[in-house]
Amino acid sequence: MADYKAPLRDMRFVLNEVFDVSSLWASLPELAETVDAETVEAILEEAGKVTGKSVAPLSRAADEEGCHWKDTVVTTPAGFVQAYKTYAEGGWVGVGGNPEFGGMGMPKAVSAQVEEMVNSSSLAFGLYPMLTSGACVSINAHASETLKAKFLPNLYAGIWAGSMCLTEAHAGTDLGIIRTKAEPQADGSYTISGTKIFITGGEHDLTENIIHLVLAKLPDAPAGPKGISLFLVPKFLVNDDGSLGTRNAVSCGSIEHKMGIQASATCVMNFDQAEGYLVGEPNKGLAAMFTMMNYERLGVGIQGLASGERSYQNAIEYARDRLQSRAPTGAQAKDKVADPIIVHPDVRRMLLTMKALNEGGRAFSTYVALQLDIAKYSEDAETRQRADALVALLTPVAKAFLTDMGLETTVHGQQVFGGHGYIREWGQEQLVRDVRITQIYEGTNGIQALDLMGRKVVASGGAYYRLFSDEVRQFIAASDSALSEFTKPLAMALTKLDELTDWVLDRAKSNPNEIGAASVEYLHAFGYTAYGYMWAMSAKAALDKASEESFYASKLGTARFFFARLLPRIHSLAASVQAGSEPLYLLDASEF
């Protein structure tokens, strides 16, 4: 496997030249005081070093070893404890955390780049700080000041870790039917009883304490999702002076044996009248959890991007070195027995597809992160409201499309290697196995598509969608003729997406099946169009510099490939959407 090198040049291009983040941050008073280009540059450089040198070298051996469970104790693979200590001591767990409690206070647009780096280095390793950061988001937004002061500093510092305990054996997506119970106690605490499954980082040896956020129901809770509350349940109770107290009644019953992410402990967690503390208001647990979800779902999308980036780095190195056959136009490396496989059209197709999807995905994930930042930090109510609506619309696209494309890019990378891609020692088969989970957890991609189509597009009467569509049209209208080779196909794609949106809105009035029938193909059509917008903006930033530096020439060439070879996929997707729901209901259940 090639050594991982953080794509810092492209990250800087996206942040500084495509989105001009410094101007945005300067307009947001809270960020203007803490964030500047020099600080961000130093953060990205250092994050690239720590992930590339301390984490990435562990990935393959950690996958081979996996986690170990014995008598409720989980041990992570060799090297993880020291690597996590190094990572935590650099402040990386709390890079986006509240400075009042020891976080670095960086905007999501910056922490998103750090997330990509750590997940490219090792997806399994990156899950531990990711779950901690997610728990911190909910605690910071909804917990009492006492709980925040007691728990956030050590979480941000990486001394303690966090987990999110939602899923139960009978309740995955349908959280309204969970059975975990919370009983109020005289001292204001609660006893939590129940079993949760698929809990990432529920138990491990990386930190001295683990802080679980647990969904449970109070005795008088109303039925369904409106009766769910959120509780903070530490592995070890914490004394008033901050020291660790007795072991709480929470334990790991087993760990799962999985297709991938072997070095990430996926746990069955048992709560046996464990002491916990209410986060937020009673019966408002889902709202508190969903504060975190937009960040976490974007984070999962970034995992797909990160896997694709690692796959591309491996594949491009291999394609330049592997000698097989001669180019169709004749020998290129005449001093060698054969040409490197990068000369062959199909290999170039795969490499360019990977490059275009990765770089488009990096721009798109950063764009969504910027909306999160605007929604959080803007002092203008209308601006915050618009950003909130865009976050709601784009989060399911970011989670599902980035991870679907992540699987495509890792498979392409494996295919470039041929038979060697199927062999463990090259690392490509691990990337394929690892990235597969990203399409499943934090809400399967089918659920994400249903959320986009049903809750965000149809339920709003298309209002959320029009915010995005109008922005893209304004960009096209403001672009000069020099950019027309990119804006014309983008305009055509947007018109097609407008038509699909109106088609589903109209058909859903008389047939609710149309929403689910259209959802996955619609999300993909949306994703390719959104990437088209990203690539048009990237081309604009590169256009006048292509003759100055090969980076910009490469950017323009990749943009042209995207518009010529990948954006046209929307036509088959549109045909599938407009076939309607009827073909899905031609068979009785017994006829399958």
Predicted confidence (pLDDT) at residue 294 exceeds the cutoff of 90: no
CB 153 within 8 A of CB 139: no
What mean pLDDT is predicted for residues 154-178?
A: 92
Predicted confidence (pLDDT) at residue 369 exceeds the cutoff of 90: yes
What mean pLDDT is predicted for residues 353-360?
A: 98
- SS3 per residue for 574-588: HHHHCCCCHHHHCCC
30 contacts: CB under 8 Å, gap ≥ 6 = 377
Check residue 276 and give left, alpha or beta (phi > 0: left; psi -120 to 50: alpha): beta
Would the CA dihedral through 331, 336, 342, 346 be positive or negative? positive
Q: Which two tokens stand for residue 116?
A: 């990509």
Give the span between the Cα atoms of 81 and 314, in whole angstroms.
26
What are the Cα distances from residue 405, in Å, to 125, 307, 319, 569? 21, 10, 21, 13
Give per-residue pLDDT as tens, 388-426.
Answer: 999 999 999 999 999 999 999 999 999 999 999 999 999
Identify any residues that bridge with 217 across adjacent strands, giving them in sequence order. 181
Per-residue pLDDT band for 57 (boundaries 50, 70, 90) equals: very high
What mean pLDDT is predicted for residues 75-104?
A: 97
Mean pLDDT of the chain, nearest integer: 97
CB 103 within 8 A of CB 96: yes
Give the span between the Cα atoms of 437 and 307, in whole angstroms.
11
CB 286 within 8 A of CB 228: yes
Does the model's pTM come out above 0.85?
yes
Long-range contacts of 51-54 (CB under 8 A, 24+ apart): 51/4, 51/6, 51/117, 51/118, 51/120, 51/121, 52/3, 52/4, 52/5, 52/6, 52/117, 52/121, 54/83, 54/86, 54/87
41 is catalytic: no
Q: At residue 560, what is the residue type?
A: R
Would the CA dihedral through 5, 410, 128, 105 be positive or negative? positive
Give the number of C-alpha atoms closer than 13 A to the C-alpha of residue 19, restricted to the C-beta side. Answer: 26
What mean pLDDT is predicted for residues 577-586?
A: 97
CB 463 within 8 A of CB 385: no
What mean pLDDT is predicted for residues 466-477?
A: 98
Give the span between the Cα atoms of 139 and 213, in whole angstroms.
9
pLDDT of residue 242: 94
Among candidate residues 115, 359, 442, 514, the one labeled active-site is: 442
Predicted confidence (pLDDT) at residue 33 exceeds the cutoff of 90: no
Please report the beta strands in 280-342, taking only residues with DSSP state E, as ranges in sequence order. Answer: none
Quick one: what percent of the chain has pLDDT higher than 90?
96
pLDDT of residue 196: 97
Q: Which two tokens stand for residue 356?
A: 């275009």
pLDDT of residue 285: 94
pLDDT of residue 173: 79
CA–chain centroid gap for 543, Å, is 30
Quote the DSSP letter at residue 92: -
* CA 404-408-413 angle, 5° bins: 145
Element (H, E) at 418: none
Rg (CA), the chain: 24
What mean pLDDT is predicted for residues 471-483?
A: 97
Helix (H/G/I), strand (E/B), else coil: 271: strand
Give the number of C-alpha atoms closer than 13 A to the C-alpha of residue 513, restricted to the C-beta side. Answer: 9
Q: Among residues 198, 205, 97, which one has the least CA distance to residue 161?
A: 205
Give the span between the Cα atoms of 188 and 170, in whole angstroms.
30
- SS3 per residue for 297-330: HHHHHHHHHHHHHHHHHHHHHHHHHCECCCCCCC
Check residue 225 and give left, alpha or beta (phi > 0: left; psi -120 to 50: alpha): alpha
What are the Cα distances from residue 263, in Å, to 84, 125, 188, 258? 13, 7, 38, 10
Quote the DSSP letter at residue 217: B
pLDDT of residue 183: 98
Identify any residues that bridge with 82 across adjacent strands, giving them in sequence order. none
Check residue 151 and give left, alpha or beta (phi > 0: left; psi -120 to 50: alpha): alpha
Unique residue bearing structure tokens 């403001």: 478
Give the number of C-alpha atoms closer than 13 A to the C-alpha of residue 386, restricted to the C-beta side. Answer: 13
35 contacts: CB under 8 Å, gap ≥ 6 = 25, 105, 106, 107, 110
Predicted confidence (pLDDT) at residue 34 exceeds the cutoff of 90: no
